[in-house]
Amino acid sequence: MRIQIDPAVVSANFSRFAENPSLRESAQLFAAGKPVVEMIQAFAMNPGVLRAFSGFADVYPCGTLERAVVEKVILRVSRMHECQFCVSSHEAMTTQLGISTDLAPTAMHSP
C-alpha cells in the first residue's frame, strides 16, 4: 500500500513542529524543494504520527551519539527486523548524508 503525499498537508504539518530538532532537518529540506525520504513524508501526512516521531528529539538526530552511529544502529535494527520500508528510508538517508551503509565492525562511521 502506498500513501499519497499531499505537499500542502506535509508542509502544514511540518510547520506545527518547526522548532523540533528531530524534524527540523526534514522540514528544511522539504521547504527548499529538496528530497525528503518517503518515510518522513508519510509521517508528515498525519499530525499525530508526526507528533509521536517528534518525541525522539532528544536522541535523533541531535543526541550525544555521532549521527553516523545512530543511523547505522537504526539501519542494523531495521535489517534485523526485515522492515524494508525502514531499510530503504535509512539507506537513502545515510547515502544523502554521505555515510557508508557498510555495517562491518571495521567500517568508518563518518564521511
Indicate whether 108 pLDDT > 70. no
* HEC profile of the chain: CCCCCCHHHHHHHHHHCCCCHHHHHHHHHHHCCCCCCHHHHHHCCCHHHHHHHHHHHHCCCCCCCCHHHHHHHHHHHHHHCCCHHHHHHHHHHHHHCCCCCCCCCCCCCCC
pLDDT grade for 1, boundaries at 50, 70 and 90: low
Total-model pTM: 0.64
Average pLDDT score, the chain? 83
The mean pLDDT of 18-39, rounded to a whole number, is 82
Q: What is the pLDDT of residues 38-71, one digit of tens each?
A: 888 888 899 998 888 888 777 777 778 888 888 8
Q: Are 36 and 26 in contact (CB under 8 A)?
A: yes
